[in-house]
Structure 1
């Protein structure tokens, strides 16, 4: 029986659009430079160091500035300092999280995200527990982060259902005994998957 619903953050409870984030943080850049910052900063492997807790935003600013033209340096700084404020609530998903809580399910967050998550925690519905990758120095799909979740909150994997936007993270969850659903924006399909898993909506 499913008793616990585990949510990812980006593209599940809030949006994470690199293009939107860059345009918000550096609004005067031409499209060519927007694309450059998306590909060479937000989608660069160095960005993962925020999620893994290996580096802070301030520490990564000079790293990216050394690699990219001087005309982009102000935009890089604005992007690294302001990206967390560019995550927008996904209304239907936040409503679902609230209704599941009202129905008696315990709800948890398991997200690959930097320490700055805590600055926006109030922008998502209150949950029963939070596991943030940067705090744990572990990132999905490493099986160790799922085990940390189960141990931290005394959860039985077989009683958990995980919602994440990346297939490899759901595959890893299933390998650890936790069922789940790859969320691509179709809330109706997610609700049907929850019903199929025995969740009463």
Structure 2
């Protein structure tokens, strides 16, 4: 019987789109492309998620790389980008309904601590009963050890959990540990709701 819903963040509770994030800043198309490549498309960005670099350390590298006229924009983006992510309101309405039914909601995401702390310290944090973040654990999905951290920390029975992620390799890793896996896009929210009904 399903008691716990474990959610990835990117493309599950919010739209992970560097282009849409950068559209919140006043940039020419050329500046947009330069900053997208040098920040979100950089080799350092996955290292932030992996906990090998902090955002502050990565920012210093980005500032050395971008043209001088884009250094202030780089600082602005690094300081504020989590505020400019588009969250999926229908997902949060669904989470609210699940919580009223007594289901527990957990976050398990490959993300740096800046975004993790933004979620935890904003109103979005009220929707979750606990989290595991890759940067904090220095482990990335689909490494099975990151799922085990969640199971151990919150004393969960894997058979009572569904893990929802936009990447199949990540849901398959959860299934290996005995969880249900649901590979998700926001247009499948109705199917996810139905899945939860059928397994609760």
- What is the TM-score of this pair, normalised by structure 2? 0.89
Residue matched to 1:58: 56
Cα contact 1:64–1:76 (8 A) shared by 2: yes
Q: Deviations for 1:131-167, whole angstroms, at most 9, x for unmatched residues?
A: 1222211121111100111111111111100111222
CA RMSD of aligned residues (A): 1.7
The count of residues paired between Structure 1 and Structure 2 equals 196
Residue matched to 1:193: 195
Structure 2 residue 90 is the aligned partner of structure 1 residue 89: no
Residue matched to 1:13: 13
Distance 1:45 1:172, change over 3 A: farther
Q: Distance between the aligned counterparts of 2:135 and 2:158, measured in 1?
A: 22
SS of aligned partner of 1:120: helix
- What is the TM-score of this pair, normalised by structure 1? 0.89
Q: Distance between the aligned counterparts of 2:70 and 2:169, measured in 1?
A: 33
Cα contact 1:18–1:38 (8 A) shared by 2: yes
Q: Distance between the aligned counterparts of 1:35 and 1:185, measured in 2?
A: 26
Q: Which runs of 5+ in 2 are unaligned?
A: none
Q: Distance between the aligned counterparts of 1:70 and 1:177, measured in 2?
A: 51
1:39 Cα deviation after fit: 2.8
Cα contact 2:2–2:196 (8 A) shared by 1: no
Q: Distance between the aligned counterparts of 2:62 and 2:76, measured in 1?
A: 12
Q: Distance between the aligned counterparts of 1:82 and 1:105, measured in 2?
A: 32
Q: Distance between the aligned counterparts of 1:154 and 1:99, measured in 2?
A: 23
1:162-201 mapped onto 2 (5 Å cutoff): 162-186=163-187, 187-196=189-198, 198-199=199-200
